[in-house]
Structures are given as structure tokens and as C-alpha cells.
């Protein structure tokens, strides 16, 4: 194939620092020229509202962000590109001294992060980044781009998986979203969906790359390439004898169900499943199951699975399972999963929390931040998450050996969402953030095995009470501030408002 000049790079593998917004570079230049480039600050990523009307977020994306960090460096071609950038008046956008400064630079950051598969709540730090001012800001866009997108899709998937098993029967959820996704190739979308609990994907390239199951049936186009539907079914079964799930709604769904049954009889091959992709999903599932049951005793129909697709989301799945009692065995979700359809943007932010050792605060209506470098202590009772305390990152008075919290008292007045928080000395607890990078060197390698990440997410979700996982009107999880941090915050607010 002819090589083109606009071939898209693998941005994680190249580690280009240009994975940022322009203002990150213009601010970096100003800090450098003003002698402030080596001043140390801490910025933290968090989000203000849970997506999808729920009460939790499932973290995803850390491994891919770490890959970019590990490869971070300025190529000569990056510097050459910046040298060509002009202001509106034609003057160079970037000073020669600044461009010289960038050559050969290496990251010198300390980064703490919440592991993938962990559950987090509004206003809690998910990433905490400390280092030279210009470098802290230069990683913001990549961090948020990856965290926001993958966490949204992982959470959406977890909600669908939860809905699919609400009646106690475990039903697999497949991710079928490649053709509707926003990302070229859909790799990150498939990855996040698998962490969230999807058991397979239609995205063959992503399945190969991540080592996860590829799954798929057939399309209407195959049925329409034959004069008669039953001939299409028989051909597909003959040449895919280990994958005989048939799509039955190309023309008349009732006739499609009958033809699928007849195709199995004429080929002598077991019918593995029927997929319904349109119309009244509950009605056709019941009709299909009734017709299949009439073949009881014929081994060709001993294990026919019914698969539902067609713009599924957690609410439709919940309705099919709990209200209409549709006898589906598998759900395949595409558009509304990979696009995070009803909350297409998480809105995670990255704010300065500390500068040259002093806490900083943004005071704005509804957006006042929590000052200083912070961490989260999670209280656990009877193997269930009970509540979280946002504390100062260097505060070791509340926790010892990452196992037991000490001197934890009532945080009713400090609660961030109005829920009552009462914890006692000796409660079981752990800190949420782990140190990923120290002074530019990795000290922790994020988990790469997606099966292990999926298991971690499922384990953590099981520790979250069902009241927080309801798809509508979910209970608010308790998040409060450690007393001293609460006092610091109030004092800074009063100082900035002149009280």
C-alpha cells in the first residue's frame, strides 16, 4: 500500500507530549520564561456528578495512561512542528529558548492514582499529580481524555450487566458497538466494556489485541443474499457448524423462527441460538421459546439460547428481565454502550490543589474545590463499603498499615452530599490511591490482564450495596471530609471571600 503522510500515529506508543491542548504549551512557555518552570505544584483529577443518574463511577484507563507516560518524550519532529507555529501577526508562537528547553526533557512527576476496577464517587481524587508546574499541566489532557471516556463506558457496561441479572439468573452481556463507536478502531471502548463486565466483543481486532473472546452471529445482509431465508440459514449452519446462532427478524420474525427450526432439522446440526434485533423484543422471545419448547426431545434443540440486541441499555434490559419476563439468555449491546448514550461526557476535571507546599482553592458557586493534596479512606463493614473520608495525603493519623482506621468520628457536618457519616475507632478501612510514579520513575505497574481487571471490578461492585446500584433513584453514597481538611477549606473560602 502506498505510504501516506497523514498516517495516524499510535499516540500511546509514541508518547508524544503534544497529546495536550495548545494552552498547556503556551502556559509552559510563560512559566519557563518567567523562571517558574521548576516550581512544584499538585493538581488532582476528580468528577462532580455521577453519570447515568447513578451513584458511582467504575474507574478505567490507568494502564493506557501509564503506557503514554512511559513513552513520553519530545521528538525532534515535535519541536520542529512547534517552531513553525505562528501567532496572528505572523510572529513565532514559541520562543527559541523555550524550544531549546524542551529538547531531551524527561518527566519528573509523582503520580498517585485509583487503580482500574475500583469504585469512586464525586469530588474524590482519582489522580494526584505532583511535579514541575509545566509538566503537571502537560499531562492533563491525556489523563482526562483516557479516564473520562473509559470510565464512562466501564460504568455503563457495569449497569447493563447488573440489569441483566436482576432476577438472580446470570446472563452474559456482549459488546457489539464497533460500527457505532466514536474511537477509530474502538479499542479503548472494547477494553473499558470488558472491565465493566462484558464477556465478549464483536470487535475482532480488539479481541486479538487484548486476548478477550470474540463473539458474533450473522447480519441481515447474509440472509438477503439468498432467495429464500431458510437457504441462508442452512448455508450459514453448514459452514459455521460451531456457531449456529441465527438472526431471525430480517423479514417476518415468526417465519424466521420457524425457518431457523426447520434449517436445523434439514441440516441435522444443533441450533445454538436465535437473535432478535427489532420489534417487540419481549413478545418475540416468548414466541421463540414456545416454538422451541415444542421440539422437546429432539437433541438439535436442547440448548438454544435467545439473544436480544437492538439499541439496548440498562433500562430496557431491566424491563425485559423484571417486568416482561422475556426469556432471553444473552444480551448484546452496541450503540448505547460504547457511546455512553445518555451521559456522553463525564466532565472529569483537573484542578490545582497545592502550589509550592501551600494549599490552593478555587472558589466558585457549585465548583469550590477541596484544597491540598488529598487521598481517600474507604470504610468497610461486613465486607460492604460503608462510606469514604477525603483526607490530606500526608495525614497518617486516621489509618495505620493501610488496614485499620483510627480516631475516625462522626462526619455529619462535613458530609459533601448530606448523608450521615459516623465511623468509629478501629473500623476496617483502606486508602484508595496508590503511588504509580515517584520522581519520574514507575514504582507500580498497573494491571494489564483484562480478566483480572474484570474480576477486580466485579469484586468491588459486589461490595457496594444494591441500594447504590439501583438504575433509578439510587441511594447517595456517603463522602465526607476529615476534620482538619474541612477546617482548612472553610478558612480558605473565608479568606478569598474577605470574610
140-164 and 450-462 helices cross at what angle (nearest 10)?
A: 60
Q: Is the pLDDT of residue 498 over 80?
A: no
How far apart are the C-alpha atoms of 155 and 161, rounded to whole Å?
A: 10
Residues of the chain with CATH 3.20.140.10: 11-55+73-135+349-442+468-496
Q: Residue 173: which of 183, 165, 181 has the closest Cα? A: 165
pLDDT at 423: 66
Grid cell of 308 as nine digits: 436480544
Calculate Rg over the CA atoms of the chain. 27
Grid cell of 139 as nine digits: 499531562
Grid cell of 134 as nine digits: 509545566
Q: Which residue has the cell 420489534?
A: 279
Best mean pLDDT range from 364-378, 398-412, 420-434: 364-378
Q: Residue 371: which of 490, 252, 226, 204 has the closest Cα? A: 490
Instruction: Report CA torsion sign: 179, 185, 190, 192.
Output: negative
Phi and psi at residue 247, to the nearest 5°: -90, 115
Q: Is the pLDDT of residue 386 over 80?
A: yes
Write a three-state SS string for 74-140: CCHHHHHHHHHCECCCCCECCCHHHHHHHCCCCCCCEEEECCCCCEECCCCCCEEEEEEHHHHHHCH
pLDDT at 115: 98
Instruction: Among 3.20.140.10, 1.10.10.10, 1.10.1370.30, 3.40.640.10, name the CATH number for the domain at 11-55+73-135+349-442+468-496.
Output: 3.20.140.10
Each residue of 196-245: pLDDT tens digit? 999 999 999 999 999 999 999 999 999 999 999 999 999 999 999 999 99
Local confidence band at 483 (pLDDT 50, 70, 90 cut-offs) = confident
Beta strands in 284-423 (DSSP E): 305-308, 330-333, 349-355, 358-359, 374-381, 384-392, 399-400, 404-405
**Architecture label for domain 154-338:** Alpha-Beta Barrel (3.20)
Each residue of 157-208: pLDDT tens digit? 999 999 999 999 999 999 999 999 999 999 999 999 999 999 999 999 999 9
149 SS3 class: helix
How far apart are the C-alpha atoms of 9 and 80, rounded to whole Å?
A: 17
253-267 and 229-239 helices cross at what angle (nearest 10)?
A: 40
How far apart are the C-alpha atoms of 343 and 341, rounded to whole Å?
A: 6
Distances (CA, A) of 22 to 36, 83, 123, 140: 19, 13, 27, 12
Q: Is the pLDDT of residue 404 over 70?
A: no
62-70 and 140-164 helices cross at what angle (nearest 10)?
A: 160
pLDDT at 38: 96
- How much is the average pLDDT of 320-346? 97
327 close to 270: Cβ distance less than 8 angstroms: no
Q: What is the DSSP letter of 52?
A: G
How far apart are the C-alpha atoms of 210 and 446, rounded to whole Å?
A: 15
pLDDT at 499: 64
Local confidence band at 434 (pLDDT 50, 70, 90 cut-offs) = very high
How far apart are the C-alpha atoms of 414 and 483, rounded to whole Å?
A: 7
Residues 279, 198, 55, 434: what is their CA dihedral angle, to the nearest 10 degrees?
Answer: -160
193 close to 219: Cβ distance less than 8 angstroms: no
Grid cell of 92 as nine digits: 513565532
Q: What's the chain's average pLDDT?
A: 92
pLDDT at 408: 43
pLDDT at 376: 94
Residues of the chain with CATH 3.20.20.70: 154-338
Each residue of 406-415: pLDDT tens digit? 344 434 334 5
Amino acid at each position: 500500500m502506498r505510504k501516506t503522510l497523514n498516517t495516524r500515529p499510535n499516540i500511546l506508543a509514541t508518547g508524544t507530549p503534544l497529546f495536550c491542548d495548545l494552552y498547556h504549551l503556551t502556559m509552559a512557555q510563560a512559566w519557563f520564561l518567567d523562571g517558574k518552570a521548576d516550581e512544584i505544584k499538585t493538581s488532582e483529577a476528580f468528577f462532580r456528578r455521577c453519570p447515568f443518574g447513578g451513584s458511582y463511577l467504575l474507574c478505567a484507563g490507568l494502564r493506557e495512561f501509564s503506557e503514554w507516560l512511559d513513552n513520553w518524550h519530545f521528538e525532534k519532529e515535535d519541536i520542529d512542528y512547534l517552531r513553525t507555529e505562528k501567532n496572528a501577526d505572523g510572529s513565532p508562537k514559541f520562543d527559541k529558548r523555550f524550544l531549546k528547553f524542551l529538547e531531551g526533557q524527561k518527566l519528573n512527576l509523582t503520580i498517585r492514582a485509583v487503580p482500574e476496577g475500583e469504585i469512586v464517587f464525586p469530588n474524590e481524587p482519582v489522580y494526584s499529580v505532583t511535579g514541575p508546574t509545566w509538566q503537571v499541566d502537560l499531562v492533563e489532557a491525556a489523563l482526562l481524555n483516557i479516564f473520562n471516556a473509559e470510565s464512562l463506558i466501564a460504568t455503563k457496561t457495569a449497569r447493563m450487566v447488573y440489569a441483566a441479572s436482576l432476577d438472580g439468573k446470570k446472563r452474559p452481556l456482549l459488546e457489539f458497538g464497533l460500527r457505532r463507536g466514536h474511537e477509530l478502531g474502538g479499542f479503548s471502548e472494547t477494553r473499558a466494556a470488558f472491565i465493566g463486565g462484558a464477556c465478549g466483543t464483536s470487535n475482532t481486532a480488539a479481541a486479538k489485541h487484548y486476548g478477550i473472546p470474540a463473539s458474533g452471529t450473522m447480519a441481515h445482509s447474509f440472509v438477503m443474499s439468498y432467495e429464500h431465508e431458510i437457504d441462508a440459514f442452512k448455508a450459514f449452519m453448514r459452514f459455521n457448524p460451531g456457531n449456529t446462532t441465527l438472526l431471525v427478524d430480517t423479514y417476518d420474525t415468526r417465519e424466521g423462527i420457524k425457518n431457523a427450526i426447520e434449517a436445523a432439522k434439514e441440516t441435522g446440526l444443533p441450533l445454538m441460538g436465535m437473535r432478535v434485533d427489532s420489534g417487540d423484543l419481549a413478545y418475540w422471545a416468548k414466541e421463540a421459546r414456545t416454538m422451541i419448547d415444542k421440539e422437546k426431545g429432539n437433541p438439535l434443540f436442547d440448548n438454544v439460547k435467545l439473544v436480544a440486541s437492538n439499541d439496548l441499555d440498562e433500562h430496557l434490559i431491566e424491563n425485559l428481565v423484571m417486568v416482561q419476563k422475556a426469556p432471553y439468555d444473552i444480551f448484546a449491546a452496541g450503540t448505547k454502550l460504547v457511546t455512553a448514550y445518555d451521559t456522553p461526557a463525564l466532565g472529569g476535571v483537573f484542578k490545582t490543589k497545592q502550589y509550592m507546599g501551600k494549599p490552593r482553592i478555587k472558589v466558585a458557586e457549585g465548583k469550590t474545590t477541596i484544597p491540598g493534596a488529598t487521598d481517600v479512606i474507604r470504610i468497610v463493614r461486613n465486607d460492604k463499603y460503608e462510606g469514604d473520608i477525603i483526607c490530606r495525603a500526608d495525614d497518617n493519623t486516621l489509618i495505620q498499615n493501610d488496614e485499620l482506621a483510627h480516631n475516625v468520628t462522626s462526619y455529619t457536618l462535613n458530609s459533601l452530599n448530606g448523608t450521615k457519616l459516623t465511623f468509629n475507632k478501629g473500623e476496617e478501612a483502606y486508602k484508595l490511591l496508590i503511588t504509580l510514579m515517584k520522581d519520574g520513575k514507575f514504582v507500580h505497574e498497573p494491571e494489564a490482564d483484562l480478566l483480572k481487571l474484570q474480576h477486580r471490578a466485579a469484586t468491588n461492585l459486589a461490595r457496594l450495596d444494591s441500594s447504590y446500584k439501583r438504575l433509578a433513584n439510587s441511594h447517595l453514597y456517603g463522602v465526607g471530609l476529615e476534620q482538619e481538611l474541612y477546617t482548612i477549606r472553610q478558612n480558605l473560602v473565608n479568606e478569598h471571600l474577605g470574610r
